[in-house]
């Protein structure tokens, strides 16, 4: 594979902005959600159309240059950015069009779930999406896509009816049950690398506008009781009820209001990362200071979607208390 670190190369037919090392905005554009990732693409190609994506794919293939696709940048391994290669940045392709009559949304490949939810909810519609509004549709939907509505409506990929795709040979194709059915099959849960999805067409469902949702926080020592309770509760809960459990520890530097150098979090990822160097983030993240056991917090979240016959169950709080007492 070509090492393009010192090469100057063009992207014929590319109509978007190109950012190279040293350009204003380059460092911000190469950051991803995971603050420990520090990769320096030779060029960040901010795509505005499927033609731009095809131009980036073609140059990467013809000149044997590594290519990464930046959707929402939430992939924990940082595969959105590549050292010394081309990063095809889809964040500028984030349009969401809703057809309320057909109950279909066409969503460009760089959109984030917050924008998708806001657009579909204007029509009282929704589709299973990311639990965090900052997550991109690209990596999430292609990797199946688990979210609050999944028990009622399936994973995000179950609701993918059609995809507009740029393939590795630079062709622009449709993948659906009727066209390129094999590709369509692969896109629904197989992850990236089958092609670059420039637009997702998603089936929508009536949801809301009234939802019952919330987050309950428990001390970590209650984890065993809470997990046992949740296991039993969710098995018999109606499909409209969704939930999740997260272990939240205080050691994560990204939760601080300032990082170790005193820099406030970056505006693009306010709750997620520091805008200081990845080295500082890494060192803040290292577990040098032992934490007392049980110092974390256990958070359980429960959503009840009022899209059908749902009636709220007894609250999780009252039942966990009863369950704890019984043990």
- HEC-encoded secondary structure of the chain: CCCCCCCCCCCCCCCCEEECCCCCCHHHHCCCCCCCCCCCCCEEEECCCHHHHHHHHHHHHHCCCCEEEECCCCCCCCCCCCCCCEEEECCCCCCEEEECCCCEEEEECCCEHHHHHHHHHCCCEECCCCCCCCCEHHHHHHCCCCCCCHHHHCCHHHHEEEEEEECCCCCEEEEECCCCHHHHHHHCCCCCCCCEEEEEEEECEECCCCEEEEEEEEEHHHHHHHHHHHHHHHHHCCCCEEEEEEEECCCCHHHCCCCCCCCCECCCCCCCCECCCHHHHHHHHCCCCCCCCCCCEEEEEEEEECCCCCCCCCCHHHHHHHHHHHC
* Least distance between ligand FAD and beta carbon 195 (Å): 7
Q: Is 170 in the site for ligand FAD (CB under 6 A)?
A: no
Nearer to ligand FAD, 19 or 69 (CB): 69
For residue 66, the minimal CB distance to ligand FAD (Å) is 12
For residue 232, is it left (φ>0), alpha (ψ between -120 and 50) or beta? alpha
Of all residues in the shown chain, the one whose CB is closest to ligand FAD is 138
How far the first Cα of the chain sits from its last, in Å, is 60
Minimum Å gap between C-beta 293 and ligand FAD is 25
Nearer to ligand FAD by Cβ, of 98 and 197: the residue is: 197
Number of residues near ligand FAD (by CB under 6 A): 31
CB of 271 to ligand FAD, least distance (A): 9
Nearer to ligand FAD, 165 or 204 (CB): 165
Please, are residues 98 and 205 in contact by the beta-carbon 8 Å criterion?
A: no
Q: How far is the CB of 203 from ligand FAD (least distance, A)?
A: 17
**Contact pattern for ligand FAD over residues 33 through 72, marking x by CB under 6 A:** x----------------------------------xxxxx
Distance, CA of 158 to CA of 109 (rounded, Å): 17
Question: Residue 313 Cβ, how far from ligand FAD at the closest point, in Å?
Answer: 22
Q: Compute the least distance from the CB of residue 67 to ligand FAD, in Å.
A: 9
Q: Per-residue contact track with ligand FAD, 249 to 288, x per CB under 6 A?
A: ----------------------------------------
Which residue, 132 or 220, is less far from ligand FAD as judged by CB? 132
Residue 297 or 323: which CB sits closer to ligand FAD? 297
Q: Per-residue string for binding with ligand FAD, 108-127, x by CB under 6 A?
A: -x------------------
Cβ contacts of 109 within 8 Å, gap of 6 or more: 53, 71, 90, 93, 137, 138, 196, 197, 198, 199, 200
Contact pattern for ligand FAD over residues 69 through 108, marking x by CB under 6 A: xxxxxxxx--xx---------x------------------
Contact map string, positions 127 to 146, toward ligand FAD, x by CB under 6 A: ---xxx--xx-xxx-xx-xx
What residues line the site for ligand FAD (CB under 6 A)?
32-33, 68-76, 79-80, 90, 109, 130-132, 135-136, 138-140, 142-143, 145-147, 192, 196-197
């Amino acid at each position: 594979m070509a090492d393009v670190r010192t090469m100057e190369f063009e992207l014929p037919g590319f109509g978007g902005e190109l950012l190279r090392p040293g350009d204003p905005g380059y460092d911000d554009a190469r950051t991803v959600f995971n603050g420990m990732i520090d990769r320096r693409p030779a060029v960040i190609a901010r795509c505005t159309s499927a033609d731009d994506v095809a131009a980036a794919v073609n140059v990467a293939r013809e000149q044997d240059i590594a290519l990464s696709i930046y959707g929402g940048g939430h992939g924990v391994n940082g595969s959105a950015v590549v050292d010394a290669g081309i990063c095809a940045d889809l964040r500028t392709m984030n349009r969401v069009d809703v057809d309320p009559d057909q109950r279909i949304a066409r969503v460009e490949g760089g959109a984030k779930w917050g924008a998708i939810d806001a657009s579909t909810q204007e029509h009282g519609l929704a589709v299973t999406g990311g639990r965090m509004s900052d997550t991109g549709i690209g990596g999430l939907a292609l990797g199946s896509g688990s979210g609050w509505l999944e028990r009622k409506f399936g994973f995000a990929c179950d609701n993918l009816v059609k995809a507009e795709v740029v393939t590795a040979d630079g062709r622009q194709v449709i993948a659906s049950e009727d066209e390129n059915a094999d590709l369509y099959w692969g896109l629904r849960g197989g992850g990236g690398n089958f092609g670059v999805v420039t637009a997702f067409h998603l089936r929508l469902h009536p949801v809301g506008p009234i939802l019952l949702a919330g987050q309950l926080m428990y001390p970590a020592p209650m984890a065993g009781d809470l997990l046992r309770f949740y296991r039993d509760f969710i098995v018999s809960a109606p499909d409209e009820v969704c939930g999740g459990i997260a272990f939240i520890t205080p050691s994560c530097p990204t939760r601080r209001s300032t990082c170790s150098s005193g820099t406030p979090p970056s505006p693009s990822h306010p709750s997620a990362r520091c805008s200081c160097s990845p080295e500082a983030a890494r060192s803040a993240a290292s577990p040098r200071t032992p934490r007392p056991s049980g110092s974390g917090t256990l958070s359980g979240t429960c959503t009840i979607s009022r899209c059908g016959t749902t009636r709220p169950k007894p609250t999780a709080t009252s039942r966990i208390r009863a369950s704890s007492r019984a043990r």
